[in-house]
Structures are given as structure tokens and as C-alpha cells.
Amino acid sequence: MNEQAPGPVVIGMDPHKRTVTIEVMTPKEQILGHGQFTTDEDGFAAMLEYVRRWPQRRWAVEGCEGIGRHVVARLLPLGEQVVDVPGVSDGLFKRGVSHLKEIDYGYDQAEEERRARAGA
């Protein structure tokens, strides 16, 4: 993992108030990298430094108008391409019982990575 991509990539992002989880994928869904970063100034800078190796990138951010708004507001002025991905609550009834189990069990790193991948 953490390979440099010669072509375009999509960076799926699952944002939270204080952290974001990202996953970098090719158009053929090959995972090239992933990470979790804080949303403070240092964490945001570290995330941008991490993705610099993929200059042809587009961000797919869960909830651009909701929970992802604070990150999108910092990406757009930098010229980053950002697309909105519906948030978990938008699909609550479509996900059914499996989603309710996610809530019951709390934080799960594998689930955070899956959500980031879904955004990509």
C-alpha cells in the first residue's frame, strides 16, 4: 500500500468532528493507501502531505453539507475537487438492521475504512 498512482485517484473520506478516515483508490478500485487524521491544523496539514503523492485526485466526502462541511470548507479554497457522498443517516432505512448494529457496537476501525471506501 501507499503506492504513488500515475493516474487519477478518488479519496473517499468518512469525516467526524475531530478526525477523518480516508482511503485512496484507483478507478478500478485498487486501494493505494489509507489513513486517519485529526481535523486540527496539524492533522489537516498531515493529510494533505500524505495525499500529495497523488496529484490527480478527487475527494468523495461523506456529508459535504453536514458532518463533512468543516473539512470541505478547507479543501475547496485550495483548489481540491470535492464531490458529496450521502451520509449514513441519509441511508438509515435502506441499511436496516445492519446499520443499527453499527450504532450499538460503537466505533470500529474496519467500519470507518469501509465507509471511506464507499465514499470513493
- Strand segments, DSSP code E, in 1-120 are 9-15, 19-25, 31-38, 57-62, 81-85
Contacts of 107 (CB under 8 A, 6+ apart): none
Q: What percent of the chain has pLDDT over 90?
A: 53
The pLDDT value recorded for residue 117 is 67
- pLDDT value at 100 more than 50: no
Q: Is the pLDDT assigned to residue 90 strictly greater than 80?
A: no
Domains, in order of start, for the chain: 9-115 (3.30.420)
Residue 85: band (very low, low, confident or very high) from pLDDT cuts 50, 70, 90:
confident
Measured distance CA(73)–CA(68) in Å, rounded? 9
